[in-house]
Structure 1
Amino acid sequence: MKISQLASTLIVSAVAASAQADNSFQLSSPQIQANSSISADFEFNGFGCSGNNQSPELHWKNAPAGTKSFAVSVYDPDAPTGSGFWHWYVVNIPVTASGLAANAGAADQANLPQGAFQLRTDYGYHGWGGVCPPQGDDAHRYIFTVHALNTEKLAVDENTTTALGGFLVNAHTIDKASFTAYYQRK
């Protein structure tokens, strides 16, 4: 194969891969960019933190075929607990949803799509629990994930832990999309 033919083949392969990547399941937020710092607006109000404790707006696209519902989680693997820290876990989001509105994590669940349910977070209540790493720690990673599920509804209730919820979500996940952002208290 000539060098020009090889170059053409590589270019066509790269364009095809790029087009395929553009059709992959994706998660984003207009308020929190991937690999960036999280604004104090999303900080918890308690445990020494004094933020607004409001969840960010999230959007997803290109859900895979067979998706029947979604789940969204926010997890801090750097929390000094030995097991990380679950800041938010929403399940039973209808397949018709393509995102969650700003402050969808309000404890009264009024801003969630109908049928969606917030599991109890590691703060001990149902709703968004904002970022709040210990003062002086290096920046913590916050992993935002949307799961495309092959079931319309998970069997959960107000007593379901995030560990059990995570087990159920992972058992029904077709695909997932994530981004990571960072937060540090000075």
Structure 2
Amino acid sequence: MTQNTFTLTSSAVPDGSVLAHDQVGEPAGGPSISPDLSWSGAPEGTRSFAITCYDPDAPTGSGFWHWIAWDIPASTTSLPAGLPRDADGLVQGVSDAGEPGYTGAFPPAGEEHRYVFTVHALPVETLGVDAEAPHVQARFAIHTQALASASVTATYRADD
């Protein structure tokens, strides 16, 4: 019996890389463009996907959420770079920066932070969470229901 392996890849954000200028946030001088993401090997029973980008090193005590998107149809296996904040076919929540969609990296000067991009396979077509709801509601639904998750991690250091 062959076991499927759920994997996530990105040409813009290879695992272990340094974030490119495109994925850096406006406060750090970048354009805040979401990276391309591609995934394969979703487990049986997957009915939708969710995407998160999390900085566990942010000096908040609870990290910083740069991207939360959900209700991505199970037939989808990739998202293009530069996904519009109002893209059809998915819900994008409000990041910790207070804006919908992807918010690029902007760590404090002199600090290197990790950025964990994760795709989550879910057993439901919809989370039933509005885009305007606090993203903790979507994250709770994602993390308590995920059939599988796959991640890539990149770093970024702001200039002193």
* Residue pairs, 1:74-89, within 5 angstroms: 74-89=53-68
Instruction: Mark the runs of 5 or more structure 1 residues left unpaired by the alignment.
Output: 1-15
Distance 1:117 1:128 in 2: 12
* Residue pairs, 1:65-76, within 5 angstroms: 65-76=44-55
Shift of 1:64: 0.3
Instruction: Mark the runs of 5 or more structure 2 residues left unpaired by the alignment.
Output: none
Distance 1:88 1:64 in 2: 23
* Aligned twin of 2:37: 58
Query: CA RMSD of the aligned region, Å?
Result: 1.4
Amino acid at match of 1:123: A
Classify the secondary structure of the residue corresponding to 1:133: coil
* Aligned twin of 1:144: 117
Shift of 1:129: 0.3
Q: Deviations over 1:41-85 (max 9, x none)?
A: 111113xx1101100000000000000000000000000011100
* Aligned twin of 1:9: none
Distance 1:30 1:75 in 2: 19
Amino acid at match of 1:66: G
Distance 1:91 1:174 in 2: 14
* Aligned twin of 1:124: 98
* Aligned twin of 2:81: 102
Q: TM-score, normalised by structure 1?
A: 0.82
Shift of 1:172: 1.6
Q: TM-score, normalised by structure 2?
A: 0.94
Amino acid at match of 1:177: A
Flag the structure with higher helix content. 1
Give % identity: 41
Deviating beyond 2 angstroms after TM superposition, the runs of 4 or more aligned structure 1 residues are none
Amino acid at match of 1:74: C
* Residue pairs, 1:14-33, within 5 angstroms: 23-33=4-14
Q: Which structure would you say has the larger RCO, counting Cα contacts within 8 Å and 6 or more residues apart?
A: 2
Distance 2:120 2:141 in 1: 11
How many pairs align?
A: 159
User: Pick from 37, 41, 44: which aligns with 2:25?
Assistant: 44
Matched, 1:160 2:129: no
